[in-house]
């Protein structure tokens, strides 16, 4: 498959980026995509949840009253989980939610999503550009020229910098990443992918399909 490179005004530049047969497969890797999305979302969890158990609560350990003869139920100390303010039974504890999957599975998932976007004509390639100062209107004009102003768009450049980050961070339904931050969650979450010319080379090398 061949895609023409566009300039920042949406005009053709007479340059072509080619995706060879290594990028395409007759097989779908839905389960690999599922595992990679699950891994990414799990890694976002801080795992700092904690509830107080009996041993974490201050208070007397003395039995409240004698076992029998009061006409009431049997009770232990004031930290009993059945009392208001008592310790919680089997409450959450801090833990690490991160999952591990192998590199091949990650690459299969990313490659499979990009392949699907290519087949659906949801990938656009633009020439590389630089910003001398933060300017959100510059990014907006690129989206307008590509007719993606009302679409969820993910832009991937070879390398981000502070000016690019500040220009893109307040735009609705838009995300800016560098090639090394490429992950299946954002590829799947955004309808269109905008690739800078040099980022394509990095992604091909990254996915071992160059």
pLDDT of the chain, 210 residues: tens digit per residue: 888 999 888 888 988 988 887 778 878 889 999 999 999 999 999 999 999 999 999 989 999 999 999 998 888 999 999 899 999 999 999 999 999 999 999 999 999 999 999 999 999 999 998 888 999 999 999 999 999 998 999 999 998 889 999 999 999 999 999 998 889 999 999 999 999 998 998 888 888 776
CB 164 within 8 A of CB 153: no
The candidate with the shortest Cα–Cα distance to 42, out of 104, 105, 95, 102, is 95
For residues 78, 84, 85 and 89, what is the CA-based torsion angle, rounded to 10 degrees?
Answer: 90
Strand pairing class (12-18; 153-157): unpaired
The string of pLDDT tens digits covering residues 170-193 is 999 999 999 988 899 999 999 999
Kindly tell me the burial class for residue 148, based on how many C-beta atoms sit within 10 Å of its own C-beta (0-12, 13-18, 19 or more).
Answer: buried
What was the pLDDT predicted at 210? 64
DSSP one-letter code for 203: H
Alpha helix (H) ranges present in 19-161?
Answer: 30-43, 103-119, 136-145
């Amino acid at each position: 498959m061949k895609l023409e490179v566009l300039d920042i005004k949406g005009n053709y530049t007479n340059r072509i980026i080619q995706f060879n047969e290594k990028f395409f497969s007759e097989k779908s890797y839905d389960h690999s995509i599922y595992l990679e999305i699950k891994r990414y979302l799990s890694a976002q969890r801080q795992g700092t949840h904690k509830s107080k158990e009996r041993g974490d609560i201050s208070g007397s350990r003395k039995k409240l009253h004698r076992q029998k003869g009061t006409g009431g139920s049997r009770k232990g100390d004031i930290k009993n989980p059945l009392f208001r303010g008592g310790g919680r039974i089997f409450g959450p504890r801090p833990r690490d939610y991160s999952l591990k999957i192998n590199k091949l599975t990650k690459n299969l998932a990313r490659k499979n999503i990009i392949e699907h976007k290519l087949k659906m004509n949801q990938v656009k390639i633009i020439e590389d550009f630089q910003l001398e100062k933060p300017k959100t209107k510059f990014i907006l004009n690129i989206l307008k020229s590509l007719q993606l102003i009302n679409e969820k768009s993910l832009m991937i450049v070879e390398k981000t910098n502070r000016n690019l980050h500040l220009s893109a961070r307040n735009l609705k339904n838009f995300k800016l990443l560098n090639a090394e931050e490429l992950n299946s969650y954002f590829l799947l979450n955004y309808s269109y992918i905008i690739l800078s010319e040099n980022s394509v080379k990095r992604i091909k090398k990254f996915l071992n399909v160059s």
